[in-house]
Amino acid sequence: MQRSRFFYRLVVPVLLLAGVLLSPRPATGQIDTRLGLRLGVASMTIDGGAQSNRGRRAGLVGGGYVRLGAPGWVSFQPELLYVQKGASNEFRARGTTVTEVDKLGVIAVPLLVRVHAPLETVSPTLFAGPVVSQVVQSSSTIEADGSRPSNLAASVPPSVEGLGAMIGTGLSVDVNSRTFTIEARYQFEPHTGQNLGSQGFTFSVGVEQ
């Protein structure tokens, strides 16, 4: 059931946007298509409910995207990313310091509107849009500073999809026929009854052509 909801949330918006972008346009309009790759680091935490006081997990983020738009200020940028999320929680149990670490591997599909100032070489950019996410890997481990209490067991992290939002800013640098990018983003998925939620930052570099 969760997979079907994720499929519906992901495929339907993408098909609708693709239909708009690929529909016939006047001859005066010209669509500029750029393909890109992105790699960076993520600092994310599980958010919401009893988990809201947990620490962040540092991980990786990477993937690809396509940027579509007429020459000018605004373009549409759907992406397919793999993001490492999670959280850590430290507490005392029977005189021992215990650290529980949740690790999540997430497929994220941001659907971003990108605004940039088309300067000669270096262009500042702003972007925002919804993000559809699905957990594809999850694990939880417990480490103890000393002997581990026998009654402690790692919890099972949730494996549910989420619908959130992403905003960010960056710089684009044109070098010959390629464009190199540096970006900082904030992503937020709200805590709901069926989605634990998460929030955090990513920092990445990329190249597009």
| pLDDT one-digit tens code per residue, 3-37 | 445 445 555 555 554 444 444 444 445 778 889 99
Q: For residues 107 and 130, what is the distance between their CA atoms, to the nearest angstrom?
A: 14
Domain holding 80: CATH number? 2.40.160.20
Domain residue limits at 52:
2-22+32-88+97-142+154-208
Residue 138 within any structural domain of the chain: yes
Residue 147 within any structural domain of the chain: no
Task: Specify the number of domains making up the chain.
Answer: 1
* Cα distances (angstroms) measured from residue 43 to each of 33, 56, 147, 186, 202: 30, 6, 30, 10, 6
pLDDT band for 174, please (50, 70, 90 cuts).
Answer: confident
Q: What is the pTM of this model?
A: 0.75
pLDDT band for 155, please (50, 70, 90 cuts).
Answer: low
Identify the CA nearest to 35 among candidates 65, 74, 6.
Answer: 65
- Asked which of 55-69, 72-86, 157-171 is least confident by mean pLDDT, the reply is 157-171
